[in-house]
Amino acid sequence: MFASVERYWRRFARPFGRFISQTVLVILIAGCASEPPLPPSPERAEVPDYDKQASYNKPYVVKGKTYYPLLSATGYRMRGVASWYGAESGRLTAMGSRFNPNQLTAAHRTLPLPCRVKVTNLRNGRSIAVTVNDRGPFHDARLIDLSHAAAKKLGVKGLAEVEVEYMDQSAAGS
């Protein structure tokens, strides 16, 4: 009886088992291929042409990390953590103007300068428009730094979960 089982295994089961294994493997690979492609890694990403950009909108390095400002903020909408800053009062912003914590301004690592964004505190629903005129925050877990006045209007004390949305020129005027 053992010999007949062995013959059956060699003749039918083993080839059928390979067929099933190969079929499952092809299905798994095809399923993976149908996923949207991942964006290129920063090392291989194509760098846009920054030649005609102002110096504050060109790539820059902070603490060994290179940041690439967006050439356009159209369609930008992101959720993340906001913090506020004010001790820098009187220092120059990335654009060269003096930082004033009493103005409705903000700092962002990659949005083009200057631009207007709507910032919404997701905890209390308050929203304001601010002008992004500086670079920062250089803390990986944070999306935007608000001036003291902007943070106060939004009810931000310390850190807050916010949504930042670019306001195009037509929306900024209304």
Q: Rounded to an integer, what distance in angstroms lies between the CA atom of residue 60 and that of residue 19?
A: 55
Q: What is the pLDDT of residue 52?
A: 87
Q: What is the pLDDT of residue 98?
A: 93
In the chain, domain spans: 1-40, 55-172
pLDDT per residue of the chain (174 residues) written in tens, 0 to 9: 556 656 655 665 555 556 665 665 455 555 554 444 445 555 555 667 888 899 999 999 999 999 999 999 999 999 999 999 877 777 899 999 999 999 999 999 999 999 999 999 999 999 999 999 999 999 889 999 999 999 999 999 999 999 999 998 755 444
Q: Rounded to an integer, what distance in angstroms lies between the CA atom of residue 147 and that of residue 113?
A: 16
The candidate with the shortest Cα–Cα distance to 112, out of 169, 161, 65, 74, is 74
pTM of the model: 0.70
Helices and strands (H and E) in the chain: how many: 4, 8
Domain at 55-172, CATH homologous superfamily: RlpA-like domain (2.40.40.10)
